[in-house]
Chain A
Amino acid sequence: MIYGIAILAFSFLAGQWMGTLLGHWIGIDSNVGGVGFAMIILILTKEGFHRKGWFKSEMEYGVDFWGKLYIPVVVAMAASLNVKAAVTSGSLAIAAGAIPVIICFFVFPYLTKGLKAS
């Protein structure tokens, strides 16, 4: 199990490093997209290990444990933010949460049609 967590930690650190490099490069001076890079590295590492036959289900268990903590961590994050100051823009939360979804429902049939055609 610890091997799985170690692989996750490796992917995480490598991704964050790439994110920090990218941040420097575009001049924001913070970690940009490290999470995205890390996810891609994790998937590729897992795939590579699978191919070599090194991957054991117990490893996946170690990563899965952290993956399942994702919603609880988001809950903890939500509870430790300055929600009081954000409530004044509550109507924006509802509009920006719902309107793009409705637009996408209109777009979806065209998307599938377009994809089928190509």
Chain B
Amino acid sequence: MSELIQVIDSYGLIVAFLVVGVIMFFSEIISRKIFRSKIPGSAISIFLGLVLGYIGGVFGDGEKGLSDIPIFKGVGFMGGGMFRDFTIVATAISASFLLIKKSGLAGMISLFLGLIIFFTVGVALGWAWGFRDAVTLTTIGAGACTYIIGPVTGAAIGASSDIIALSIGIGVVKTITVTILTPILAKRIGLDSEGAAMSYGGLMGTTSGVAAGLAATDPKLVPYGAVTATFYSGLGCLICPSVFYLILNYFL
């Protein structure tokens, strides 16, 4: 047994791959069996990640969730800033420049409008819940944009670990809300063409939510919504910790 512990201890990152693989596997099953694939497996897996972070916090009695428990310390390395930023940048490769050009001005307008609405409402709600400092409010507002913009922004401006966890939670709720409401409301809001799907992806942002929601509406629209939604994360990571933070900092 002590040999196994020794192996686990020396290969933390590899252990993390196994742990996360198992989490992803169970989320896929939950997604398929319980939600009949209506809610994307990614949203469920991130939620499960948060649950494990909570359990880790209870048992490890620290501030770093599961990674405070020695055998899971590699999870903290895998979820650290280096891998997070490297993988999010890699997702941009699927964004086709041609499609972005095609969506043009309309895409840009919906992107900015979407980021402004989500950020502003997120900050307003954070304020209503009693948070007052610019760093926390910016991180909450960024989390309302997506579960990736939240932590990237929080890390850049120095938010605390619990606020970053909160911002991920907000982003996960957003993804699930978009996924559920898109097919229900698509007809009523005129979401029925390629152009509309591009504006929709830009306005809503969350790639997994938009893609899953559009797939349930009309699979042909998925690539059009996904292209602007991918850009939403890039743009959000760019302006939330800079322009939005500075504006908020100025007023507070």
Task: Decide if A73 touches B93 in the complex (CB within 8 Å).
Answer: no
Contact A77 B151, CB 8 Å, known A28-B156, A96-B144, A108-B203: yes
A41 to B199, CA, bound (A): 23
Against A, the Cβ 8 Å flags (1 = close, 0 = not) of B24-65 are 100000000000000000100111111111101110000111
Main secondary structure of the interface of B (DSSP, over half): helix
| Interchain nearest-CB distance for A57 vs B (Å) | 12
* CB pairs A–B below 8 angstroms (10 shown): A8-B90, A33-B238, A43-B95, A46-B97, A67-B91, A80-B67, A83-B162, A85-B63, A108-B191, A108-B199
A→B interface (CB under 8 Å): 8, 11-12, 15-16, 19, 22-23, 26, 28, 30-40, 42-44, 46-47, 60, 63-67, 69-87, 89-105, 107-109, 111-112, 115
Interface size on B, residues (CB 8 A): 109
Most buried by B among A28, A87, A111: A111
User: Which residues of B have CB within 8 Å of A83?
Assistant: 50-51, 53-54, 56-57, 65, 162, 165
| A80→B65 contact, CB < 8 A | yes
| Inter-subunit contact A28/B57 (CB<8 Å) | no
- Judged by a CB distance under 8 angstroms, whether B7 is at the interface is no
Cβ of B47: which chain A residues have Cβ within 8 Å of it? 78
Question: What's the least CB distance linking A114 to chain B, in Å?
Answer: 8
Contacts of B223 in A (CB 8 A): none
Say which residue of B21, B87, B129 sits within 8 Å of A89 (CB atoms): B129
**CB neighbours of A108 from chain B (8 A):** 189-191, 199-200, 203
- Asked if A76 and B89 make an inter-chain contact with CB atoms under 8 angstroms apart, the answer reads no
The 6 A-B residue pairs whose C-beta atoms are closest, nearest first, are: A97-B173, A36-B238, A84-B57, A77-B79, A78-B49, A76-B79
Give the residues in chain B near A34, CB-CB below 8 Å.
85, 156
B174 touches A101 (CB 8 A): yes
Beyond A12-B85, A43-B97, A109-B190, whether A115 also contacts B106 by CB under 8 A is: yes
Contact (Cβ within 8 A) B114 A79:
no
Instruction: Give the A-B pair count, Cβ closer than 8 A.
Output: 312
CB distance from A7 to the nearest CB of B (A): 9
Question: Is there contact, CB below 8 Å, between A79 and B90?
Answer: no
Query: What is the interface of chain A mostly: helix, strand, loop, or mixed?
Result: helix
Residues of B within 8 A of A98 (CB): 173-174, 177
In the complex, whether B8 has a CB less than 8 A from a CB of chain A is no
**Proximity string of chain B (117-141) to chain A, C-beta cutoff 8 Å, 1 when within and 0 when not:** 1100110011001000000000010
Question: What separation, in Å, do the CA atoms of A43 and B231 have in the docked complex?
Answer: 10
| B242 sits at the interface (CB 8 A) | yes
Contacts of A71 in B (CB 8 A): 24, 42, 45-46, 208
Q: In the complex, A82→B63 CA distance in Å?
A: 5
Contact B162 A35 (CB under 8 A): no
Q: Are A100 and B121 in contact (CB under 8 A)?
A: yes
Which residue of chain B lies nearest to A71 when distances are taken between CB atoms in the complex? B42
Is B196's beta carbon under 8 Å from chain A?
yes
- Per a CB cutoff under 8 Å, which of B53, B129, B242 touches A26? B242
Taking a contact as CB atoms under 8 Å apart, the answer to whether A42 and B117 are in contact is no
Contact residues in B for A105 (Cβ distance below 8 Å): 181, 185, 189
- Alpha-carbon separation in the docked complex, A35 to B238 (Å): 7
Extra inter-chain contacts (7) besides given A86-B163, A100-B144, CB under 8 Å: A12-B89, A33-B241, A75-B46, A77-B151, A85-B162, A93-B166, A97-B171
